Amino acid sequence: MPLPSVSKYGAKQCRAKSKRTGLPCKNPAAYHCAVCRYHGAHRTHTTLPGAKHPNYIHGQATKEVRAEHSKKMAEIRDLEALGFKIGMFTGAKMAGRKPKPRA
């Protein structure tokens, strides 16, 4: 069987052939697969983490950064609630979803 050709976008072509025409499928193959999504693409491994991932751009929104941001925002919400409770603040409160209660 010949190797799949590479499209102009760099993706390999699906290796499945049409039952009706006998011509090869013209769709690009799924990432790390021999066939396209219509012909049963199934990855047997997980996606690469961090900078090794093919869609990695800058790393500004990693799991660690998001967890730290969530922790800081919960702390700010607690301080805001305390400020309203003692009468230090007046007016509108912060908009957005409230954090889950911490144990």
Domain segments of the chain as ranges:
1-41, 50-95
Confidence label for 82 from pLDDT (cuts 50, 70 and 90): very high
Q: Tokens 């066939």 map to which residue?
A: 35
pLDDT(99) > 60: yes
Looking at residues 54-60, what average pLDDT do you find? 81
Residue 98 in this model has a pLDDT that exceeds 60: yes
Tokens of 70: 């969530």
Asked whether residue 12 carries a pLDDT value surpassing 90, the answer given is: no
Q: What is the pTM for the complete model shown? A: 0.45
Integer Cα distance of 98 and 27 in angstroms? 45
pLDDT beyond 90 at 60: no
